[in-house]
A and B are shown apart, each in its own frame.
Chain A
Amino acid sequence: MQVNSVLVVDDEAIVRESIGDWLKDAGYRVATAQSGEEALDLIEKQDFSVMVLDIRMPGMTGLSVLKEVKAKRPWMKSIVITAYPSAQTTDEAKALGAIDYIIKPVAPDNLERLIRETLVSVGKEPTVITRPEVPPKPPAVEVRKLLVITKEDLKSLVNGLLGEMEVVGVRERYGRYVYDRVVSFEELCLDYDVTVLPPTKYLLPARESLLRFSMVDGSSEPVTADGPRAIIGVHPSDIRAMELLDEVFIAANPDPNYIARRQNTIIIGVDDLNPSPKSFAPSMGTSQAETGFDLLLTDIGTGYMVTVGSEKGADLLAMYTQAREPTGDEIARQRVVREEALTRYQLSLDISRERLPKLLEESYDDPFWESRSRTCLSCGSCVMVCPTCFCFDVKDEVALNLKEGERLRFWDGCMLVDFAKVATGENFRHDRASRFRHRIFRKGKYVIERYGRVGCVGCGRCAIACLAGIASPLEAFNAIADSARAKQAAARVLRQAMGEAELYVPRPAELVRVEKLTEREKLFEFRLRGGQKLGHRPGQFVEISVFGIGEAPISIASSPTRDGTLQLAVRNVGDVTGALHALGEGAVVGIRGPFGNGFPLEGLVGKDILLVAGGIGLFPLRSLVQYILDRRGDFGKVILLFGARSPAERLFLGELAAWGQSPDIEFQETVDKGDDKWTGHVGVITTLIPRVQIDPKKTVAVVVGPPIMYRFVVGELKKRDLADENIIMSLERRMKCGVGKCGHCQINGVYACQEGPVFTLAQLRNLREAL
Chain B
Amino acid sequence: MKPKVAFFDFTSCEGCQLEALNLTGEELLDLVGAVDIVNFREAMTERAEDYDIAFVEGSISREAELPRLQKIRDQAKLVVAFGACACIGGINCLKNHLPMDEALRIVYGQDAKYYDTIPARPINAVIKVDSYVRGCPPLTAELLKVVKALLLGKKPDIPNHPVCVECKMAGNVCVFERGMTCLGPVIRAGCGAICVTGGRHCWGCRGLVDDPNLDSEKEILGKYGLTVAQVVEKFKLYNTYAEVPK
Closest approach, in angstroms, between the C-beta of A238 and any C-beta of chain B? 15
Within 153-170 of B, Cβ neighbours of A (below 8 Å) are at 153-155, 157, 160-162, 164-165, 168-170
Q: A376-B213, A417-B209, A468-B220 are in contact. Are A401 and B34 (CB under 8 A)?
A: yes
Q: A400-B31, A401-B33, A416-B165 are in contact. Are A378 and B154 (CB under 8 A)?
A: no
Stretch from A173-181, A353-361, A555-563, A706-714 forming part of the interface with B: A173-181
CB closest chain-B residue, reference A174: B173
A771 at the interface (CB under 8 A from B): no
Residues of A within 8 A of B135 (CB): none
Assess the A379–B161 pair: CB atoms within 8 A: yes
Determine which of B148, B151, B171, B213 lies in contact with A178 in the assembled complex, contact meaning CB atoms within 8 Å.
B171
B186 at the interface (CB under 8 A from A): yes
Stretch from A131-139, A574-582, A683-691 forming part of the interface with B: A574-582
B144 at the interface (CB under 8 A from A): yes
- B-side binding surface: helix, strand, loop or mixed? helix
Q: A174-B178, A417-B211 are in contact. Are A376 and B168 (CB under 8 A)?
A: no
Determine which of A175, A400, A468 lies in contact with B144 in the assembled complex, contact meaning CB atoms within 8 Å.
A400
CB closest chain-B residue, reference A401: B30
Assess the A380–B174 pair: CB atoms within 8 A: no
Determine which of B31, B172, B173, B213 lies in contact with A378 in the assembled complex, contact meaning CB atoms within 8 Å.
B213
Interface centre among B151, B161, B173 (most CB of A within 10 A): B161
B6-24 contact mask (Cβ, 8 Å, vs A): 1 or 0: 0000000000000000000
Residues of B within 8 A of A207 (CB): 169
B177 at the interface (CB under 8 A from A): yes
Closest approach, in angstroms, between the C-beta of A143 and any C-beta of chain B? 33
Bound-complex Cα distance A411 to B159 (A) = 13
CB closest chain-A residue, reference B213: A377
Residues of B within 8 A of A379 (CB): 161-162, 164-165, 184-186
Residues of A within 8 A of B220 (CB): 375, 377, 467-468
What total of chain B residues lie within 8 Å of the partner, measured CB to CB? 43
Assess the A417–B210 pair: CB atoms within 8 A: yes
Assess the B168–A402 pair: CB atoms within 8 A: no
A172-203 contact mask (Cβ, 8 Å, vs B): 1 or 0: 01111011100000000000000011000100
Closest approach, in angstroms, between the C-beta of A302 and any C-beta of chain B? 33
Bound-complex Cα distance A105 to B143 (A) = 67
Residues of A within 8 A of B213 (CB): 375-378, 432
Q: A206-B169, A377-B185, A468-B216 are in contact. Are A549 and B152 (CB under 8 A)?
A: yes
Bound-complex Cα distance A280 to B240 (A) = 43
Assess the A400–B34 pair: CB atoms within 8 A: yes
Residues of B within 8 A of A465 (CB): 168, 174
B217 at the interface (CB under 8 A from A): yes
B108 at the interface (CB under 8 A from A): no
Assess the A402–B162 pair: CB atoms within 8 A: no
Residues of A within 8 A of B217 (CB): 377
Bound-complex Cα distance A205 to B213 (A) = 29
Bound-complex Cα distance A578 to B172 (A) = 37
Residues of B within 8 A of A173 (CB): 173
Assess the A402–B177 pair: CB atoms within 8 A: no
Assess the A411–B216 pair: CB atoms within 8 A: no
CB closest chain-A residue, reference B177: A176
Residues of B within 8 A of A385 (CB): 168
Interface centre among A179, A378, A398 (most CB of B within 10 A): A378
Closest approach, in angstroms, between the C-beta of B217 and any C-beta of chain A? 6
B220-231 contact mask (Cβ, 8 Å, vs A): 1 or 0: 100000000000
Within 195-219 of A, Cβ neighbours of B (below 8 Å) are at 196-197, 201, 206-207
Closest approach, in angstroms, between the C-beta of B186 and any C-beta of chain A? 7
Q: A417-B209, A579-B153 are in contact. Are A400 and B168 (CB under 8 A)?
A: no
Residues of B within 8 A of A413 (CB): 165
Residues of A within 8 A of B147 (CB): 400
A265 at the interface (CB under 8 A from B): no
Residues of A within 8 A of B174 (CB): 196, 381, 465, 467
Q: How large is the interface on A (under 10, 10 to 19, 20 to 34, 35 or more residues)?
A: 35 or more
Bound-complex Cα distance A260 to B160 (A) = 32
Determine which of A201, A376, A582 lies in contact with B216 in the assembled complex, contact meaning CB atoms within 8 Å.
A376
Residues of A within 8 A of B173 (CB): 173-176, 178, 196
Residues of B within 8 A of A664 (CB): none
Bound-complex Cα distance A709 to B214 (A) = 35
CB closest chain-B residue, reference A576: B154
B27 at the interface (CB under 8 A from A): yes
Interface centre among B165, B169, B184 (most CB of A within 10 A): B165
Bound-complex Cα distance A197 to B216 (A) = 24
Residues of B within 8 A of A521 (CB): none
A418 at the interface (CB under 8 A from B): yes
A111 at the interface (CB under 8 A from B): no
Bound-complex Cα distance A578 to B152 (A) = 10
Bound-complex Cα distance A225 to B26 (A) = 27
Interface centre among B34, B209, B216, B217 (most CB of A within 10 A): B216
Closest approach, in angstroms, between the C-beta of A156 and any C-beta of chain B? 29
Q: A197-B171, A416-B165, A575-B155 are in contact. Are A400 and B185 (CB under 8 A)?
A: no
Assess the A548–B169 pair: CB atoms within 8 A: no
A560-597 contact mask (Cβ, 8 Å, vs B): 1 or 0: 00000000000000110011001000000000000000
Closest approach, in angstroms, between the C-beta of B222 and any C-beta of chain A? 12
Interface centre among A175, A413, A417, A467 (most CB of B within 10 A): A467
Assess the A417–B185 pair: CB atoms within 8 A: no
Assess the A402–B151 pair: CB atoms within 8 A: yes
Q: A402-B151, A411-B169 are in contact. Are A380 and B144 (CB under 8 A)?
A: no
Assess the A174–B152 pair: CB atoms within 8 A: no
B102 at the interface (CB under 8 A from A): no
Closest approach, in angstroms, between the C-beta of B5 and any C-beta of chain A? 13
A382-412 contact mask (Cβ, 8 Å, vs B): 1 or 0: 0011000000000101111110000000110
Q: A207-B169, A401-B33, A575-B154 are in contact. Are A416 and B161 (CB under 8 A)?
A: yes
B63 at the interface (CB under 8 A from A): no
CB closest chain-A residue, reference B27: A400
CB closest chain-A residue, reference B145: A397
Assess the A174–B164 pair: CB atoms within 8 A: no
CB closest chain-A residue, reference B162: A379
B243 at the interface (CB under 8 A from A): no
Bound-complex Cα distance A174 to B197 (A) = 12
B219 at the interface (CB under 8 A from A): yes
Closest approach, in angstroms, between the C-beta of B60 and any C-beta of chain A? 29
Within 174-194 of B, Cβ neighbours of A (below 8 Å) are at 174, 176-178, 184-186
Within 44-77 of B, Cβ neighbours of A (below 8 Å) are at none
Residues of A within 8 A of B27 (CB): 400
Assess the B157–A395 pair: CB atoms within 8 A: yes
Assess the A377–B164 pair: CB atoms within 8 A: yes
CB closest chain-B residue, reference A421: B160
Bound-complex Cα distance A176 to B177 (A) = 9
CB closest chain-B residue, reference A385: B168
Bound-complex Cα distance A581 to B148 (A) = 19
Residues of B within 8 A of A378 (CB): 161-162, 209, 211, 213
Interface centre among A174, A432, A579 (most CB of B within 10 A): A174
Determine which of B34, B210, B219 lies in contact with A402 in the assembled complex, contact meaning CB atoms within 8 Å.
B34
CB closest chain-B residue, reference A581: B153
Determine which of B30, B157, B164 lies in contact with A384 in the assembled complex, contact meaning CB atoms within 8 Å.
B164
Bound-complex Cα distance A757 to B99 (A) = 58
Assess the A582–B153 pair: CB atoms within 8 A: yes
Q: A196-B172, A549-B154 are in contact. Are A377 and B186 (CB under 8 A)?
A: yes
A-B contact pairs, 18 of them (CB 8 A): A174-B177, A176-B177, A196-B168, A197-B168, A375-B213, A375-B220, A377-B162, A379-B185, A380-B162, A381-B164, A384-B164, A398-B148, A398-B152, A400-B27, A416-B161, A418-B160, A574-B155, A575-B154
| Besides A401-B30, A467-B176, A548-B154, 9 other A-B contacts (C-beta < 8 A) | A178-B173, A379-B162, A380-B162, A384-B165, A385-B168, A416-B161, A417-B209, A575-B155, A579-B153
Chain A positions near chain B (C-beta within 8 angstroms): 173-176, 178-180, 196-197, 201, 206-207, 374-381, 384-385, 395, 397-402, 410-411, 413, 416-418, 432, 464-465, 467-468, 548-550, 574-575, 578-579, 582
